[in-house]
Structure 1
Amino acid sequence: MQPITVLDTLGVALAAANVDTDQLIPARFMKEPRSVGYGQFLLYDIRHDERDNPDPEFILHRPHAGDAQVMVSRRNFGAGSSREAAVYALVDYGFRCVIAPSFGDIFSSNAVNNGLLPAVVEEDDAERLLSALGDTTAAINVDLEKQIIRVAEVEVSFSISPVWRIKLLNGWDDIDMTRQHAEAITQFSSDYVKQFPWVIATPPSASLISKG
C-alpha cells in the first residue's frame, strides 16, 4: 500500500449521517470484477436519478471533485453490512481519507487494510469542517503524523488507533506488521523448543524405515 504521511489535496463534504455500505456501493454492482473500477459505482443511487442520469448538484459532480482525496461526513459512516467493496469504491474513486465522528467497525478495519485513513473527529469539529468546505471542493490538509486537519482557518485534531496509524504511515499490511517482530518471534521459537523439545516431531530414522 502507498504510505500516508500528509495529504495536501482537495476535500469534499458529504453532509449526511449514517451513510451505510449499501449506499456507498449498491449490492447489484458487486457482481462486477474489481478490474472494472469500483469508483464508478460510488454512491451511485444517491448521485443518479431513477433513469441513471447524474445529478449535477451532487458534490461529486461539481468541478474538480474528481481530484479530491478527502471526504468529510457525519457520524456512523460505513455502517451496515461488512462488504469490503464499499472501501474499494472509495479507493478506486481516488479517496485516501474519510473524516467523520464515527465509523462502522468493520468498515474502519477494511479501510485501513486498503490504505484508506478513517479519521475520527468530534461532532462539532466535523460540522466546522463541513461548513468550511461548503458545497464545492476546497483545499484540505490531513497530517497523519501530527493527527491534525486543516481547512482554511479551521484546524482540528483527529484520532485513530495507534496500530492503524503505524500501518498507514508505512503502507504496511498485517503481514508487514508481523515481520517487524521477526527477530523476537525467532528467539521465542528457539527458546520454546529448548524448554519443550518434545513438541517437535522427530521423523523415524532411515534405518527403522528400511527394517520395516
Structure 2
Amino acid sequence: MQAFTKLNGIVGPVDRVNVDTDAIIPKQFLKRIERTGFGQFLFFEWRFDEEGNVNPNFELNKPRYEGASVLISRVNFGCGSSREHAPWAIMDYGFRCVIAPSFADIFYNNCFKNGILPIVLSEEQVEDLFQRTAAHDGYKLNVDLENKTLTDDYGLVINFDLDEHRRQFLLQGLDDIGLTLKHEDEITAYEQKNAARLFA
C-alpha cells in the first residue's frame, strides 16, 4: 500500500449530507474482483444523467475541480452498506484524503486499509473549507499527516486528531497483511520450531 505522509492537492466538494456507499459506487458496478477500475464509476448517478451524459451541474464535473485529490463533504459520509468498493472507487478516482464532520464507522476503518486519510473536523471548520473552495479557483490544501495539520495559501492552519496506531499505518503504508508481514521472520521461526517439535 502506498504510504501517506504529505499531500498538496486540489479540493473537490460534494456538498451533501449522508452520502452513502451506494451513491459512492452503485451496486451494478460491484462485479469486478480487482481493487482498480472503480474510479470511473465514482458518484456515477450524480456525475452522469440517465443517458450517460456528463452532468455539468455536479460539483466534481466542473473544470475547476479536475485532478482533485482532497474530497470534502458533510456529516455521516460513507453510511449505508459496508462495501469496501467505496474507498476503492475514491482512491482509484484520485482522492487520497476525505474530510467531513463525521463518517460511518465501517467506511472510516476501510479508508485506512486502503491508503486513504479520513479527517474529522467540526461542522464549522468544514463549512469554512467549503467557503474557501468556492472562493478560490483551484483551491488547494496542504495535508501533513506527520504533524497532523491542514494549511492553505491564505492563512488557514487546522490541527486534526487521529489515532496514533492508524496514523502509523498510513505513514508506513501498511494494511493488515503488511503489518503481519513485518513479523515474517518471527512467524517463520515459530513455525519451524513448532514443526520440529511436532515431528521430532
The residue that corresponds to 2:119 in the other structure is 119
Give the superposition deviation at 1:185.
Answer: 7.7
Give the superposition deviation at 1:66.
Answer: 3.3
Do 1:21 and 1:86's aligned partners in 2 also have CA atoms closer than 8 Å? Answer: yes
The residue that corresponds to 2:168 in the other structure is 166
Give the superposition deviation at 1:114.
Answer: 0.8
Could you tell me how far apart the structure 2 residues matched to 1:179 and 1:39 are? 29
Could you tell me how far apart the structure 1 residues matched to 2:118 and 2:36 are? 25
Please give the per-residue CA displacement for 1:12-60, whole angstroms capped at 9, x wherever unaligned: 1111111110000110111245477111100011122222221113222
TM-score, normalising length: structure 1:
0.81
Over the aligned positions, Cα root-mean-square deviation in angstroms equals: 2.7
The residue that corresponds to 1:144 in the other structure is 145
Report 1:1-212 matches (<5 A). Answer: 1-34=1-34, 37-134=37-134, 137-151=138-152, 152-180=154-182, 202-203=198-199
C-alpha spacing 1:201/1:109, structure 2 compared with 1 (3 Å): same
Could you tell me how far apart the structure 1 residues matched to 2:32 and 2:188 are? 43
Amino acid at match of 2:103: F
Amino acid at match of 1:157: N
C-alpha spacing 1:42/1:160, structure 2 compared with 1 (3 Å): same
Deviates most, 125-134 or 168-177:
168-177
How many residues of Structure 1 are paired with residues of Structure 2 in the alignment? 197
The runs of 5 or more residues in structure 1 that have no matched partner are 205-212
Could you tell me how far apart the structure 2 residues matched to 1:184 and 1:123 are? 46
Give the number of the structure whose alpha-carbon radius of gyration is greater: 1
Please give the per-residue CA displacement for 1:98-126, whole angstroms capped at 9, x wherever unaligned: 01111111111111111011111111111
Amino acid at match of 1:15: D
Could you tell me how far apart the structure 2 residues matched to 1:127 and 1:181 are? 43
The runs of 5 or more residues in structure 2 that have no matched partner are none
Amino acid at match of 2:132: A
Residue 98 of structure 1 aligns to a residue whose secondary structure is: strand
